[in-house]
Structure 1
Amino acid sequence: MPLSKLHHWQPTADHLHAGARLLGFIRTLALPKQPHYLEQALRVTPLGVSTGTLPGGGAVLLDFTNGTFIYEPADGQGDIIPLAGKSQGALLTTLLELLDAHDLGGALASQPGVHIIDRAMAYAKSRSYNPPARSDLAGDKPLDIDTETGRGYAEALWSVFNGVVRFRARLLGQMTPVVIWPHHFDLSTLWFLDEPDEHKPHINLGFAPFSDGFPRPYLYAYAYPYPEPFDPPALPAPARWHTEGWTGVVVDYDAIASQDDDPATFVESLCEGIFGALVPLLR
């Protein structure tokens, strides 16, 4: 069955991104540093994205389908926090107050005249993290999530995630998990030719909701480093080479969404064909 056409995409995408940034910040407050910066990365769920289980046993879900945060502590009553009409800063304040009482163990203890967001920023720095700019975490404009669009993107993201995971399960070698990076709000995984080092030869498969020059979502892939010079190999349709600003492979979301076949199976097949075209460039 075809995926949603994601009408009214950009406003909802921007506001979901604003919410995802908060979850990434929460993870850096609660988790120790991990290889490949995975302490910042979010988990994909059928409803949206999540912090995953934090060390204190709680978790925060950003539910795309109804535009809410859902906080589930290890013990006690959970909380549902609607995004609609609330600013990013107000939402972060609420989340930090809840988490400090449970998962952060009072690390953000009250200080006269110091806002809890500023206390959280200082706490992140004390743990040797470089937190995002305050303006990226504490916007003052009310958020507005179109729930139909949110439901459509939750379904699309879950389908792409499953397609990538199923393809990835057949690969040998060292890889990073399939995660969401809150800074760009993109799904991503790396496969390493030899050493698990981002500065060594690898292939990146991912799915971005938007970026400069791409107002709509797209599947992407690239190899690093490319040989110099190289002839771009043929790709499975509807994949194409992109060479403006960065060099890699792109498949427009609308080409995926229009398929009558199971979208996860289609993405899985695309990943196999794209990976097969890219991997010889590393050898």
Structure 2
Amino acid sequence: MSDTLPDLPLMAWEPTKDTLHLYTQIVGKIQLASAPPRNHWWHATLRVNESGYGTGRMVHDGVSFGIAFDLVRHRLVVRTPGREEAIPLRDGLSVAEFHDSLFALLRELGVHVKIKAEPFGVPMTTPFADDTEHAAYDRERVEDYRDALLWVDEVFREFRGWFTGKSSPVQLFWHSFDLAMARFSGRAAPPMPEADPVTREAYSRELISFGWWPGDRAVAAPMFYAYAHPEPDGLTAQPLAPDGAAHWEQTGTTHQARLPWDQVRAAAGPRGTVLDFLQSAYAAGAITARWPYGDLPSNWCPPRGLVEPSQAAGTSGP
């Protein structure tokens, strides 16, 4: 894939991003209601495809169906065996109209699914069926987002392939609109009795998570990130690559490794820059949490200043 990456200034497309995010939450909630449960809520997440992203195959009321955002032809596609219908995505299509059109189409196809029809985990609170405020759709900016999403998905899938332990799919989380994946040590994480059931299941095992999001009101720029759960002592003392671009950021009581999208766009080798960042964040978490290292890739060379995990003291196992 081309390493000429699109510019994604949040201010230039925030109204469109918010609208697309709310559209996506509706589709994500339909999958949540129609797919059999999997660990860590993996059944509810979306996947990047060749023209955008969408659900896996779902079954509801005995009907097999799938929903996908075609961001090449700018339409939402609903498929059942032998039939394909689409809702055009356009400027002026409010969240309310999108919601009503999609559910009318599903009923026509014999799918009578019910969801909690209100936003989750975002500043917007208006129920989907009542939201006429969010209706922006800038095709050019959506295409830039699509191109960025496909590029990041490809890099993440390469990185995922280096690890032979338990690893999540590369998946689009519709509640936060970030593309992410995680590696697992195989050990249980400490209980979280005060957390909600969603969080308790998501973080029931030790993990190191890696992701990319297009920006939001808290972080007003596209960003790669990584974090370890539970966060081990000494994590932020570990070096990150590339030096001078990646950094540790405090997020409440924990920390994230971060690498700005614009630093990647400006790099001589964007793909290698991201892979080095991901591997350095993994090494930082795995070294300090004392993960076993038998599954480290053999085809990765650490940038200057990073320590090979096999050379780090006390890393022979948990």
Q: Please classify the TM superposition score into its range, dividing by the shorter chain length.
A: 0.7 to 0.9
Which residue number in structure 1 is paired with residue 65 of structure 2?
58
Match of 2:230 among 215, 225, 229: 225
Following superposition, the deviation at residue 81 of structure 1 comes to 2.5
Which residue number in structure 2 is paired with residue 202 of structure 1?
207
Say whether the 8 Å CA contact 1:206–1:220 is kept in structure 2: yes
Aligned mates of 1:77, 1:64 — CA distance in 2: 16
TM-score (norm 1): 0.83
Match of 2:50 among 22, 46, 53: 46
Taking only the aligned residue pairs, the percentage that are identical comes to: 24
Deviations 1:55-76 (A, max 9, x none): 3332221233454312222222
Distance change >3 Å, CA 181–CA 136, structure 1 → 2: farther
Which residue number in structure 1 is paired with residue 267 of structure 2?
259
Which residue number in structure 2 is paired with residue 135 of structure 1?
126
Aligned residues: 263
Distance change >3 Å, CA 256–CA 203, structure 1 → 2: same
Which residue number in structure 2 is paired with residue 272 of structure 1?
279
Distance change >3 Å, CA 230–CA 192, structure 1 → 2: closer
Deviations 1:10-67 (A, max 9, x none): 2222122111111101102321222211232011123222112223332221233454
Say whether the 8 Å CA contact 1:173–1:192 is kept in structure 2: yes
Amino acid at match of 2:23: G
Which residue number in structure 2 is paired with residue 215 of structure 1?
220
Match of 2:249 among 238, 242, 252: 242
Say whether the 8 Å CA contact 2:239–2:280 is kept in structure 1: no
Amino acid at match of 2:278: C
Stretches of 4+ aligned residues off by more than 6 angstroms: none
Amino acid at match of 1:144: A
Q: Does 1:152 align with 2:152?
A: no
Distance change >3 Å, CA 37–CA 143, structure 1 → 2: same
Amino acid at match of 1:87: S
Aligned mates of 1:88, 1:49 — CA distance in 2: 18
Q: Does 1:175 align with 2:167?
A: yes
Aligned mates of 2:119, 2:250 — CA distance in 1: 32
Following superposition, the deviation at residue 273 of structure 1 comes to 2.5
Q: Does 1:82 align with 2:82?
A: no
Q: Does 76-85 or 178-187 show the bigger shift?
A: 76-85
Distance change >3 Å, CA 142–CA 13, structure 1 → 2: closer
Say whether the 8 Å CA contact 1:66–1:147 is kept in structure 2: no
Aligned mates of 2:134, 2:120 — CA distance in 1: 20
Q: Does 192-201 or 42-51 show the bigger shift?
A: 192-201
Following superposition, the deviation at residue 204 of structure 1 comes to 0.4
Aligned mates of 2:18, 2:31 — CA distance in 1: 20
TM-score (norm 2): 0.74
